[in-house]
Structures are given as structure tokens and as C-alpha cells.
Amino acid sequence: MTAAMFASILAALVLSLVTVFQILLALALPFGHAAWGGAHRVLPARLRVASALSAVPLVLAAWIVLARTGVIAVPFQPATVRAATWVAFCVLALNTLANFVSRSRIERMLMTPAAFVCAVCLLVAALSDPFAKVSVDKQGDVASWIVWRR
């Protein structure tokens, strides 16, 4: 497993956890102090809708980062996945800054590190050679690097 693959799996895991958190917020669980500026314990209807809708780009970002490093296959051209990875990185970098300046201490302490980890992992994936694979022989030893180019 390459460093980029590890980074993409870590990013997908953190993005999945944040997705679950957003869904719980959308279901009106009392975690609102850790999101959306922390003004509400239970989010009002408009922010619950926003939380539900935010789950979609979070899942998409997880899918994109895994596709970028070849962990999963996608039906898109590599250039499309590369561009989407950079877009997701930029969004998460901006999200890191937004969480960092949040009025909510809980949001700053929980969501800033999560967004930062995801942004760094997406940067690693974006800068990686997406088609570098490790070839393993039958004994489980690394035999050679095989680079596939599209």
C-alpha cells in the first residue's frame, strides 16, 4: 500500500465519520453546538436540511479521494478525478479555516482537526501518481512497482 493510498483511506474514514455526524444533526440529535457556528443545541429545520444536504458532497469527496489513488475504480477519466480531487482539497482547506474561526469552541476543537486531516490527505492524494501499484508475489513479498499510465 502506498502512502497516497493510506492517506486516501484515512480521508475517506474521517469523511465518513463527519457524514454520519451531519446525518445525526439532520435527525435533530442534540449535537448542534459542534456544528454550524454552535449557536443551537438542536439545529433548526433549515440547518437540519443543510446538514442532510452536506452529507452528499462529503460522500462524494470520500469517493473521489479513493478513486484518485486507485483504491476503487470509477467510470470517469483520470483528468476528471484529478480535477475533482483538487476541488475537494480546496473546499476542505477553506472548511478548515472556517472551523478554526468558529465561535463554537467545540466546533473548533473537533471539526478543525477533522477538516485539516482530510485536507492534508486530499493534498497527498492530489499530488500522487494515481496509477502506481505494488505488485505482490504469491509469497506476499513486494516484487516490483508497476506504474500504469492512462
pLDDT digits (tens, 9 = 90+) for 95-108: 999 999 999 999 99
Burial classification of residue 46, based on how many CB atoms lie within 10 Å of its CB (0-12 exposed, 13-18 middle, 19 or more buried): exposed
Count: domains in the chain: 1
pLDDT over 90 percentage in the chain: 79
Q: How many CB atoms lie within 10 A of CB 104?
A: 18
Give the SS3 label for residue 95: helix
Residue at grid coordinates 452528499: 56
Q: pLDDT band at 142, cuts 50/70/90?
A: very low
Rounded-to-integer distance, Cα 26 and Cα 149, Å? 42
Residue at grid coordinates 459542534: 34
Rounded-to-integer distance, Cα 30 and Cα 27, Å? 9
pLDDT of residue 13: 98
Q: pLDDT band at 91, cuts 50/70/90?
A: very high
- For 47-88, what is each residue's pLDDT tens digit? 999 999 999 999 999 999 999 999 998 888 889 999 999 999
Confidence check: pLDDT of 6 > 70: yes
**What is the sign, positive or negative, of the torsion defined by CA atoms of 147, 14, 56, 116?**
negative
Read off the DSSP letter of residue 72: S
pLDDT of residue 129: 79
Q: pLDDT band at 130, cuts 50/70/90?
A: low
Range of the domain at 83: 3-147
Confidence check: pLDDT of 133 > 90: no
pLDDT of residue 1: 85
